[in-house]
Amino acid sequence: MTDREKDQEKAQILIEALPYIQRFNGNTVVVKYGGSAMKDEDLKMHVIEDVALLKLVGMRPIIVHGGGKEISRWVKKSGIVPEFYNGLRITDRETLEVAEMVLGKVNTDLVSLVQQLGVNAMGISGMDGDLLKVRKVMPDGQDIGFVGEVTRVNPDILWKLLDDDFVPVIFPIGSDKEGNAYNINGDHAAAAIAQAIHADKLIYLTDTRGVYRNPSDPDTLISELDEDEALRLIDEGVVQGGMIPKIRNCIDSIRNGVRRVHILDGSAEHSILLEIFTDRGVGTAIMEREQQRYYRGA
Amino acid sequence: MTDREKDQEKAQILIEALPYIQRFNGNTVVVKYGGSAMKDEDLKMHVIEDVALLKLVGMRPIIVHGGGKEISRWVKKSGIVPEFYNGLRITDRETLEVAEMVLGKVNTDLVSLVQQLGVNAMGISGMDGDLLKVRKVMPDGQDIGFVGEVTRVNPDILWKLLDDDFVPVIFPIGSDKEGNAYNINGDHAAAAIAQAIHADKLIYLTDTRGVYRNPSDPDTLISELDEDEALRLIDEGVVQGGMIPKIRNCIDSIRNGVRRVHILDGSAEHSILLEIFTDRGVGTAIMEREQQRYYRGA
Amino acid sequence: MTDREKDQEKAQILIEALPYIQRFNGNTVVVKYGGSAMKDEDLKMHVIEDVALLKLVGMRPIIVHGGGKEISRWVKKSGIVPEFYNGLRITDRETLEVAEMVLGKVNTDLVSLVQQLGVNAMGISGMDGDLLKVRKVMPDGQDIGFVGEVTRVNPDILWKLLDDDFVPVIFPIGSDKEGNAYNINGDHAAAAIAQAIHADKLIYLTDTRGVYRNPSDPDTLISELDEDEALRLIDEGVVQGGMIPKIRNCIDSIRNGVRRVHILDGSAEHSILLEIFTDRGVGTAIMEREQQRYYRGA
Amino acid sequence: MTDREKDQEKAQILIEALPYIQRFNGNTVVVKYGGSAMKDEDLKMHVIEDVALLKLVGMRPIIVHGGGKEISRWVKKSGIVPEFYNGLRITDRETLEVAEMVLGKVNTDLVSLVQQLGVNAMGISGMDGDLLKVRKVMPDGQDIGFVGEVTRVNPDILWKLLDDDFVPVIFPIGSDKEGNAYNINGDHAAAAIAQAIHADKLIYLTDTRGVYRNPSDPDTLISELDEDEALRLIDEGVVQGGMIPKIRNCIDSIRNGVRRVHILDGSAEHSILLEIFTDRGVGTAIMEREQQRYYRGA
Amino acid sequence: MTDREKDQEKAQILIEALPYIQRFNGNTVVVKYGGSAMKDEDLKMHVIEDVALLKLVGMRPIIVHGGGKEISRWVKKSGIVPEFYNGLRITDRETLEVAEMVLGKVNTDLVSLVQQLGVNAMGISGMDGDLLKVRKVMPDGQDIGFVGEVTRVNPDILWKLLDDDFVPVIFPIGSDKEGNAYNINGDHAAAAIAQAIHADKLIYLTDTRGVYRNPSDPDTLISELDEDEALRLIDEGVVQGGMIPKIRNCIDSIRNGVRRVHILDGSAEHSILLEIFTDRGVGTAIMEREQQRYYRGA
Amino acid sequence: MTDREKDQEKAQILIEALPYIQRFNGNTVVVKYGGSAMKDEDLKMHVIEDVALLKLVGMRPIIVHGGGKEISRWVKKSGIVPEFYNGLRITDRETLEVAEMVLGKVNTDLVSLVQQLGVNAMGISGMDGDLLKVRKVMPDGQDIGFVGEVTRVNPDILWKLLDDDFVPVIFPIGSDKEGNAYNINGDHAAAAIAQAIHADKLIYLTDTRGVYRNPSDPDTLISELDEDEALRLIDEGVVQGGMIPKIRNCIDSIRNGVRRVHILDGSAEHSILLEIFTDRGVGTAIMEREQQRYYRGA
């Protein structure tokens, strides 16, 4: 291809994005960002570029992030042995303190990356404007310390930031009625926020490409699911292990006003753009039954 | 390339557009559209797609259009022999009436095309909200009928439409103090409007790719010019014929608050996008002296 | 009368208008303007003066206009033989093109007249801001070409214009889902718009002074009718011919949220002002049953 | 004339008002109302009708009123002998109290009259929102009690009321720095307010028709004066007695940003409307030199 | 205590007010002010200071006031013998005139006091903006002259004043449909206004400290009552005499959207602040049944 | 004192605060908070209570905070030896990371405290909305790592938060043009912010009560200083050591649009309230020359 032909092709691709840009104009999108998608700086930058692009073409993204492997690293550094109960980090006061510090640091870094792309961002915790009120979690009656579940979301602060054209970047620390800080599971916080604002999309950047009909066969990735199918896949044992709570979480979000939930591979470059701006998509989208037929290929 | 690779490439191209989208966010862009760029429906659609995309990624485009070959066709159909004086159409009352009708029709069609792409458009003439006030033109003291030049632009209506997220689509009929209608040269109307709103960009879609250092050698297209260079090219006889008034028009606009003027080939597909969203550009850009060095490749 | 007495009388008349100005302050008024009320320039100016005055004393008028005899004149000029089916113009592609052009021209002229009176006007078609969406009409299953009926009105653009203190001047061309243009019957378009915005008044400027109890006796003009009486007059054969669809149209509007419909003689000078600002009125007003007793002479 | 002809004439007169309505749209008009124009209920109603009409056709009137003969009547009733020094009421504490009460009562009555005409009014004193700050007047070093002159106008409250579509009705009681109440001369208060808001018009309703070239000849009323002419008339002794301070007041207002001052006969019916809405006018208008030639007969 | 210790204590007390300030932030509070609480200037100043403080710490107070003993004093001065029927002043035209004058005067004085404390106030009657529409009261069929009861409150003007950060100061003169002025009982006017705006608090400054379980024993003051208890106290004869209509008035207000009604001793210094900003309170508060338990000591 | 007397005294103290509340209504106040004022939880709470009270009585406080002793504690915990150059922390990448984490944690805690008092707070760093742009500091040409000085403040984000009724809580991490994070000296950051928004007050909570004429004699605390006096005290050697840069900082702020700078003892309870709400004040205030005489005891 000559340079001219290459440019021509670029223009063509921008034009192909037009119907998607139009369709999703003004949509609120909550992106849960964490785990392996955070593992290196390049990958981080790709995710942030995707989010910035969503913002610049008229969508309203919100980032909810975890601390990745950093929390465990710093916990160890402080001489504490990280412990988990059923996948939840046992969080004594010292661990909580470290978690807050690490999440705050990751938050500042993400905000800085977004700002470098010329988009205004504001880093907030669940404390700011009383965004996330929580109560102590007691799994199986076990005391696992300062781990909370969201009981109330106060989205005022989000609407203000979105109206002022900021990308809110949220880390999941909330407070109980007495103002004590609690660590919150990031997936859970993202879902609670998405539900509270009736988000158009909730995107989970995970370590897997989505839901497979046959997990050992990469060709069996399911592109779209409605609630009933998702439940059936759990019943039939197709969905297994750590994916079960995630899928239940998705179904719950759909039932509480989120229009679509996407499960994407966070370590694949630009998976957010690919899922939103191409017909094929790259992950698994879960939605209400009725939406499905109108969606793809529109 | 596999489908996946193709998608990946698409995402990459969208991301490459990011810095341009950012840089031009909120920019007002006046697109003068007419002549050969209107000759077939496909070409029309490409131009409108470009404009819609500018709008959707946050710029604020305004279209100023002529009537292309349609006016002459209908003038003839009405049994009038089209006449010109120095390139200006001699416009008796009947010709004016036909011109208004044809321009109105073209306007409605363009508005409809923009709307089909999901973007709000509003068709207006220079009468609406007193946008364009004119006085009769008398070239060399010749009476050539109802041909006017702009004496005052009242941009209130444009700010209102832009703030309400419309793409204004303007046809160049204005009125004198007594309210008589006049035909206005499209290039002149576009320049007057761009100057009145201190547009960031004024784009002329023309029948040529831009300004050539050697008109017979397509490889000598000049990508960027400042005012002084542009004047020198006229003095040196490099710019000739119909291009001279056009270039003078551009210089005039630069001196009256327009930041950049672009001369593009209207019949080349997506030339607007290519000029704005690629480093190479595809036409000739004229700007103030100081801007030049910072612009390309930033 | 001395000059002083004349001036005194003038002041008196302005004061008499006070209660009407008050009562109708902020009222939205859709004026359907066409046919014989357009036949000469003086008459046109009188209608526009009335509308401008409504605007200046605080009402919010909207003009919906047809093309009068001009469309037929231009259709013939283009070598087409005008044809009608049940009063609807058979509209092939070429006729549609002519209709659009003529309506656009009439629109620009009306906008210019309003502007000359110092009132801001904006000419729009049903394309602008997707104001009028239509579907093809097939009377008795007959294909009569590009004639549409309104299926959806998107009044956003009207509220914006009214809030920005413009008089919207609308010509009845709309588009179907694919964006194809259609001609719309002017009375029908005006009614659809009036219903969509729950207009306080819908005024038809027609070729007759209103509804007569005995059409051959000018003294039997009916000043006010409620829905039931109007229906009865049709049943009893008092209302006949072309008046039947008009009256049905009126009743329909009343039932869909328009507060009053007025049928006035468009060729009588200042009939709009006379109907609105005098107790006697000059035409026939149709309204809901309950309103009637409170209205006149209040 | 038949009824129909009469109605026709009415419409014609409304239309004749159109250019005036247009020209004065949005104009702020301070009306100083007092003295003989208050003497009977009919006259009061006529003045209020005029003001209400100004409001309804888009102007922004403000009334500043005195107490007429009522203050003296109540002062006497309270057993006090009214005293004056150089035309200023000597105001001891008891007289001040009576003045405040009477002015408050007149104020409430005027507000009620305006409200009856369907126009929102708000009665305020110079105390409300600190509108009028004054200092004690000592004419020729004489202590005449609680008589103040305006030292500062705080027009915020007026802009708020005007923006909220109220007619402010003001009575001239102000306070000094310590919050003590003072009576203020009504003409002086009206001028201070008009200057503070750069009023388009300041109208004095007086006991005379205006300024005469020869006071004994009613045919020599001067319709328009510029500042210089007004000063010359004082120098030449044409303007005499109580008219001298009034005219100086007018000149002062013109020099401090008021565009025109009108002296009208308050006891002539609808003199405000006649002055504003007819070419001839009925009183004397004083304006800057340059304005004069453009004004009348425009 | 040293000066330093005193200052320290002051800071401590301000801090103690914090939770109350917070809790009542933005609350609308109607204060009915009259009778003995107006008897001397010092007391007046204390009441106004309290109201100004409420405003400055973020509440939105409204004053409704009577004329205290001044009306009777001026009525007598005018040679009229004050007469009452069942506690309502028999109000002939002359008495009404005096009442209006006195109330207007008191109003101006109160506005001036508020302004001296640096808080914007606006004095209004029930005429302004048609705030209070009334009908003639005929107790037992008796004609007692121009005494009205409120039939409609038009609170627009209040919202505007509150939004513009004014303290509205209202005197209870209203008008009937024909615009005739009527005197209104102040308690009744305050209740009508509080109900119309669903006030958070309605405070009656009275001549007693509140409701006593045993009126002869000052230690039996009841601090809080719900509707049912209040009714029971009437039934049981605990509440007697003039207190009965007052308490019924309170219950009525609670049932019509007012959250709490407070009966306080207007002649006790700073009773408003003490009731609102201390746990003990100083008067009797009446509220809906459910509120009670959450309120005190929260 | 009886309870009643105590309550009475409380009311009296609130009323005494009235003139201060009035005078400072709407004032922006930047509070630099750090060092010993952070040393225990009680002290922290007192400072936050003071700030919350300022907010609730209508002022607009902003907190800029450091990390107190926590940074050094965590730096050591991470096995790094804290190093300083001329009082500036030598900040390698690892130290910076720890500083960011600690500051973020302190920030979240402060936000939580403010929220517990029912006031909305938002924690931000200098990254959010590009608040603080910095360049690397090279004292005496020494490279001391990631220590920056503020080159540009972008206060948009602050105005938005203040307009939305939040208390911004800022920690001093900023970024250079490439987006690299830098630690900023807290005093310097607070001054830069106060200057950028032309703060009415800048309050430094320090380890000393203010400036003493004779540092060894606590009775020689200087209550007020103007710029010239402050400079003279430096010249005369009265101000010494670490106080010199602080005072220079204050003078600089005064010269760049801050109205008053206060130096207070952060470890004294409620020193902010005492300084603002009492005549005596408790620290040293520095202001422009002209202000001084009007200020105290006004």
pLDDT at D290: 64
CA-closest candidate to residue D108, choices C24, B166, F93, E180: E180
Question: Using an 8 Å Cβ cutoff, are C65 and C266 in contact?
Answer: no
Q: Cβ contact (<8 Å) for C22 and D50?
A: no
Per-residue pLDDT, averaged over C194-221, amounts to 92
Q: Give per-residue pLDDT as tens, F116-153.
A: 999 999 999 999 999 999 999 998 999 999 999 999 99
- Looking at chain A, which residue has its C-alpha nearest residue B270? A11
Per-residue pLDDT, averaged over E93-109, amounts to 94
pLDDT at A282: 87
What is the phi/psi pair of residue E233, to 5°?
-65, -35
The residue ranges of DSSP E strands in D138-178, in sequence order, are 147-153, 167-171, 173-175
CB pairs under 8 A between E and F: 115
Chain F residues whose CB is inside 8 A of the A97 CB are: 105
- Looking at chain D, which residue has its C-alpha nearest residue E128? D122
Q: How large a percentage of chain F has pLDDT more than 70?
A: 97
Q: Cβ contact (<8 Å) for D117 and C269?
A: no
Q: Give per-residue pLDDT as tens, C88-106.
A: 889 999 999 999 999 999 9
Binding residues of F for substrate, by number, are 67-68, 89, 183
pLDDT at B263: 95
CA-closest candidate to residue D49, choices D39, D34, D61: D61
Sheet holding C28-33, edge to edge: C121-125, C167-171, C60-65, C28-33, C201-206, C260-265, C284-287, C224-226
Q: Give per-residue pLDDT as tens, B273-295.
A: 989 988 778 899 999 876 544 44
Q: Is B68 annotated as a binding residue?
A: yes
Please provide the average confidence, as pLDDT, over all residues in chain C.
Answer: 90
CA-closest candidate to residue E106, choices E77, E76, E69: E69
Q: Tell whether the model's pLDDT for residue B296 goes beyond 60.
A: no
DSSP 3-state of C144? coil
Q: Is D68 annotated as a binding residue?
A: yes
As a residue count, chain C comes to 298
Tokens at A195, concatenated: 């539900």
pLDDT band at A17 (very low <50, low <70, confident <90, very high): confident
Angle of helix E93-116 versus helix D93-116 axis, rounded to 10: 110
Q: Indicate the DSSP class of residue C90.
A: P
pLDDT band at D294 (very low <50, low <70, confident <90, very high): very low
Q: Give per-residue pLDDT as tens, F66-80.
A: 987 888 888 888 888
Q: Tell whether the model's pLDDT for residue D76 goes beyond 70.
A: yes
Q: Indicate the DSSP class of residue B129.
A: G
Q: Tell whether the model's pLDDT for residue A291 goes beyond 70.
A: no
Q: Cβ contact (<8 Å) for C277 and D15?
A: no
Q: Considering CB atoms only, which of F18, F52, F277 is closest to E18?
A: F52
Q: Give per-residue pLDDT as tens, F248-259.
A: 989 999 999 999
**Alpha carbon of B133: minimum distance to chain A alpha carbons (Å):** 36
Question: Could you give the ipTM of this predicted complex?
Answer: 0.86
Q: Considering CB atoms only, which of A8, A13, A18 is closest to B49?
A: A18
pLDDT at D297: 36
Q: Cβ contact (<8 Å) for A127 and F120?
A: no
Per-residue pLDDT, averaged over F215-228, amounts to 89
Chain F residues whose CB is inside 8 A of the E9 CB are: 13
CA pair distance D32, D107, nearest whole angstrom? 13
Instruction: Report the DSSP beta bridge partners of residue D202.
Output: D30, D261
The region of weakest confidence among A111-125, B159-173, D265-279, F96-110 is D265-279
pLDDT at A83: 86
CA pair distance E297, E283, nearest whole angstrom? 15
- Looking at chain D, which residue has its C-alpha nearest residue E102? D101
The region of weakest confidence among A229-238, E271-280, F230-239 is E271-280
Q: Give per-residue pLDDT as tens, E59-88.
A: 999 999 998 788 888 888 888 888 888 878
pLDDT band at E15 (very low <50, low <70, confident <90, very high): confident
Per-residue pLDDT, averaged over A223-238, amounts to 92
Q: Tell whether the model's pLDDT for residue B226 goes beyond 50.
A: yes
- What lies within 8 Å, CB to CB, of E53 at 6+ separation is E273, F14, F15, F17, F18, F21
Query: For tokens 């936050």, what's the residue?
Result: F48
Q: Give per-residue pLDDT as tens, E221-261.
A: 999 999 999 999 999 999 988 788 889 989 999 999 999 99
Chain E residues whose CB is inside 8 A of the D178 CB are: 116
Sheet holding E224-226, edge to edge: E121-125, E167-171, E60-65, E28-33, E201-206, E260-265, E284-287, E224-226
Tell me the domains of chain C and their CATH numbers. Answer: 16-295 (3.40.1160.10)
Angle of helix E186-196 versus helix E243-255 axis, rounded to 10: 10
pLDDT at E291: 59
Q: Tell whether the model's pLDDT for residue C235 goes beyond 70.
A: yes
Q: Which residue has the higher pLDDT, F17 or F64?
A: F64
Highest mean pLDDT among E69-73, E167-171, F7-11: E167-171
Q: Considering CB atoms only, which of C101, C102, C129 is closest to B122?
A: C129
Q: Considering CB atoms only, which of B101, B121, B164 is closest to C102?
A: B101
